[in-house]
Amino acid sequence: MLRLSPVPIDVGQERQFYDGWYAQFQTASDDALLCNLETFRRDISDPRSPGFERRLLHQTALEHLLAFPISGCNVLDYCCGTGDWGLMLGCLGANVTLLDLSPVAIQVALRRAKLSGVEGRVRGVAADASNLACFRDSEFDLIFGSAAVHHTVKYPGAVEELVRVLRPGGRLILAETYGNNRLLNFVRRLRWRISGLADDAGEDVLLSDSDLARLLQHFRTSRVMPLNFLAMTKRLFRGRFANPVVLQTLRSLEAADRTLLRICPPLRRYCGEVVVVAEK
Ligand SMILES: C[S@@+](CC[C@H](N)C(=O)[O-])C[C@H]1O[C@@H](n2cnc3c(N)ncnc32)[C@H](O)[C@@H]1O
């Protein structure tokens, strides 16, 4: 029988999985690795790009990131992967620390920093987010995480470490999957199983309101902005957004969401993605 429930994994398994995953970028061309605000915006606005599927989530997070001056800010790109967000902020003048469990991810992200001309403002740290002894208390003005916290909340101490390294008055901005919708969670897990996604990918936690409450209790103010209810069916069209019929369908679903979520706010908690903005 198909088993949908997640299997607990440890940090070593997750590191090994992501080292293997990010190894594919080690042979990428210099052009493909360049990263700045322009390449970032192109990725989310071009229906042929992988970033297009998450454009509402990423546009919303970007607006909140750029709502305050970025230049000179000490930013932690939390679980940075290959560093798109941190490098883009580095190009805007931030002093960026790229943090990821995977040394291979950090290696790729630092090569990208050099290619993008921001190596002087960017450092990389390969470490487990549940033990950030490498950082001082209050070291960062801004912590940003994309598809990040749902990987780390399962590790004891990770929430406390995130809070510790953010200065009082500092901001936390997250772009995350949202996991209150049981039907959507069932479909997600079914899809992962069918596609053979390994348990070690660490997708076992689908960030719910209770996980967020555990994090946000440490913050003075917080705003949770759910996105995409009907439009989560976009997952069925992955890689096909350049098709005009698919694109029009997606736009219609997004328009329907805008109306539905305005007239029925309780539905918001069943959306599939969320942007969180909090101040410590
Ligand atoms: C889905 S990827 C997101 C990467 C990137 N933020 C992005 O948006 O493309 C999740 C990342 O979390 C990292 N990660 C998982 N557990 C971690 C931990 N305990 N400490 C630090 N990073 C971790 C993984 O190595 C992986 O790069």
Widest Cα–Cα separation across the chain: 54
| C-alpha separations of 53 from 206, 236, 250 in Å | 18, 11, 10
Q: Is the CB of 126 under 6 A from ligand 1?
A: no
**CATH ID of 11-279, from 3.40.50.150, 3.40.470.10, 3.40.50.1370, 3.40.50.300:** 3.40.50.150
- Ligand 1 atom with the shortest distance to the CA of 15: 25
Q: What is the pTM of this model?
A: 0.96
Mean pLDDT value of segment 260-271: 97
Mean pLDDT value of segment 251-279: 97
Q: What is the pLDDT of residue 2?
A: 61
Rounded CA separation 129/101 (Å): 7
pLDDT band, very low/low/confident/very high, at 7 (cuts 50, 70, 90): confident
Between the CA of 279 and the centroid of ligand 1 the distance, in Å, is 22
Query: For ligand 1, atom 4, which residue shows the shortest CA distance?
Result: 81
Mean pLDDT value of segment 48-68: 96
Q: Is the CB of 177 under 6 A from ligand 1?
A: no
Tell me what percent of the residues of the chain surpass a pLDDT of 90: 87
- Ligand 1 atom with the shortest distance to the CA of 130: 19
For residue 263, pLDDT over 60 is answered with yes
For residue 198, pLDDT over 90 is answered with no
For residue 8, pLDDT over 90 is answered with no
- Ligand 1 atom with the shortest distance to the CA of 158: 19
Helix (H) or strand (E) holding 203: none
pLDDT band, very low/low/confident/very high, at 201 (cuts 50, 70, 90): confident
> What ranges in the chain are assigned the alpha helix state H?
11-22, 30-33, 37-45, 55-65, 84-91, 103-115, 149-152, 158-165, 182-195, 209-216, 244-263
Structure tokens at 224: 């949770």
Helix (H) or strand (E) holding 278: strand 273-279
Residues 175, 58, 210, CA angle at the centre, nearest 5°?
A: 20
- Ligand 1 atom with the shortest distance to the CA of 11: 19
Structure tokens at 20: 């293997």
Rounded CA separation 11/156 (Å): 11
Q: Is the CB of 100 under 6 A from ligand 1?
A: yes
Q: Is the CB of 129 under 6 A from ligand 1?
A: yes
Task: Please report, for the chain, the start and end positions of each structural domain, with discontinuous segments joined by +.
Answer: 11-279
DSSP state of 14: H
Pairwise pLDDT comparison (6 vs 273), residue with the higher score: 273
Mean pLDDT value of segment 164-182: 97
Across the chain, what does the average pLDDT equal?
A: 95
